[in-house]
Structure 1
Amino acid sequence: MNWDRIQGNWKQVTGKAKTQWGKLTDDDLDVISGQRDQLAGKIQERYGIAKEEAEKQLDEWQSKATDSWFTKS
């Protein structure tokens, strides 16, 4: 799934992001607002990891994204 789709539906996927990266706060996710580079930076900051590792985690998370993430409950 491409990042534009995730960004466009950010409010629906913030729960998935919090599940993956529990150290991110609601405020972090609001500020990030679907911007991939900002999300990578916050992951680096909160988890004390290198940029490459944060990008790797984001790539894996993005590859798991499915249409079911965007369905309304």
Structure 2
Amino acid sequence: MNNDQLEGKWKQVKGKFKQSYGDLTDDDLYYSEGKFDEMLGRLQEKTGRSKEELKDEIDRL
């Protein structure tokens, strides 16, 4: 999924991540253009998963 597609579907993906990882906050899942890697870093810290694992999960959602 490219960044344009991600931006278009982020609200759906964000909701599913919050269901899967209950300790995530809106701040953790805040996405703004050009800040995808920063957001992935926050998700890595909270979930203990690698960037590749998180990208794969986002693509599946």
The percent of aligned pairs where both chains have the same amino acid is: 39
Higher relative contact order (Cα pairs below 8 Å, separated by 6+ residues):
1
Structure 2 gap ranges (5+): none
RMSD of the alignment, in Å? Answer: 2.4
**1:55 CA displacement:** 0.8
Larger-gyration structure (1/2): 1
State the alpha-carbon separation in 2 of the partners of residues 24 and 5 from structure 1: 22
- Runs of 4+ displaced beyond 4 Å: none
Structure in which a larger fraction of residues adopt helix = 1
TM score, norm. by length of structure 2: 0.60
Give the structure-1-normalised TM-score: 0.54
Report whether the alignment pairs 1:14 with 2:14.
Answer: yes
Quick one: distance in 2 between partners of 1:38 and 1:15? 19
The count of aligned residue pairs is 59
